[in-house]
Amino acid sequence: QIRYEDEDEDEGPQPDPTLEQGLPIPVRLQGSFPPELASTPLEDIDPFYHNQMTFVVVSKGKDIFRFSATNALWILDPFNPIRRVAIYILVHPLFSLFIITTILVNCILMIMPTTPTVESTEVIFTGIYTFESAVKVMARGFILQPFTYLRDAWNWLDFVVIALAYVTMGIDLGNLAALRTFRVLRALKTVAIVPGLKTIVGAVIESVKNLRDVIILTMFSLSVFALMGLQIYMGVLTQKCIKRFPMDGSWGNLTDENWEMFNQNKSNWYFDEEKGEIPLCGNSSGAGQCKPGYMCLQGYGDNPNYGYTSFDTFGWAFLSAFRLMTQDYWENLYQL
Q: For the segment 219-240, what is each residue's pLDDT rounded down to a tens digit? A: 999 999 999 999 998 988 999 9
Which residue ranges make up each domain of the chain?
A: 17-209, 216-335
- pLDDT for 303-329, tens place per residue? 888 888 899 999 999 999 999 999 888
103 with 189: CB under 8 angstroms?
yes
CATH says 17-209 is which class? mainly alpha
Kindly state the DSSP code that residue 229 receives in the 8-state scheme: H
> DSSP letters of 26-50?
PGGGGGGS-GGGTT--EE-SSGGGT
d(CA 336, CA 331): 9
Strand ranges (DSSP E) for 144-277? 240-243
Nearest 10 degrees: Cα torsion 154, 159, 162, 164:
-110
- Is the per-residue pLDDT at 54 higher than 90? yes
The pLDDT tens digits for 130-163 are: 999 999 999 999 998 999 999 988 888 889 888 8
Q: For the segment 156-205, what is each residue's pLDDT rounded down to a tens digit?
A: 888 988 888 888 777 665 555 566 677 777 888 887 777 667 778 888 88
Residue 115: pLDDT band by 50, 70, 90 thresholds?
confident
CB 76 within 8 A of CB 82: yes
| DSSP notation for 251-311 | T-S--HHHHHHHHH-GGGB--BTTTTB--B--SSTTSPPPPTTEEEESS-SPPTGGGTS--
